[in-house]
Amino acid sequence: MRTLLILLAPLTLAACVDDSASYYADGPVGNHALTIHRVQKHFWSKQSKVELIMQRLPDCLRRVELSEMPADEVAIELLSGGDNVWTLRAGDQMWQVETQTCTMYPDVKGDGGELMGVFRPDGDKFVYEAAVIETVPADK
């Protein structure tokens, strides 16, 4: 029986998701980041807990739970409203945070701002993909 449990243990852990992706507001070596962390506690569960870790050291470091979503469908857009105000959008759900004082607002104000990128699954990894900003040529 013990041998059977040892052989089955890797199978129970194989399908679980526990990963994260980060956006660095002040460059890859900075102290200002927004990280989305997704956790699927059991291999049989289709849902994952999604949380935001906001960091602007030394003044701000906070973890807040956002929602539960299907593990393979977590796609969250990141928008910047300026002045360290960030909006996260997943379908019809929206959250707004401010990293100056590490605050999560109860309601989203405005349109969220400029799209910075999206947190999403990429194969077996979770990644942050920056938005492509297209410039419009000036008329002559």
Domain ranges of the chain: 16-130
77-117 confidence digits (pLDDT tens): 999 999 999 999 999 999 999 999 999 999 998 888 999 99
CB 34 within 8 A of CB 78: yes
pTM comes to 0.81
20-66 confidence digits (pLDDT tens): 999 999 887 779 999 999 999 888 888 999 999 999 999 999 999 99
Q: Which two structure tokens, joined as six digits, stand for 131? A: 């938005």
Task: Give every CB contact of residue 25 below 8 A, 6+ residues apart in sequence.
Answer: 32, 33, 34, 56, 84, 99
Q: How far apart are CA 107 and CA 64, in angstroms?
A: 15
CB 86 within 8 A of CB 78: yes
- If you search the block for the tokens 């569960």, which residue do you land on? 45
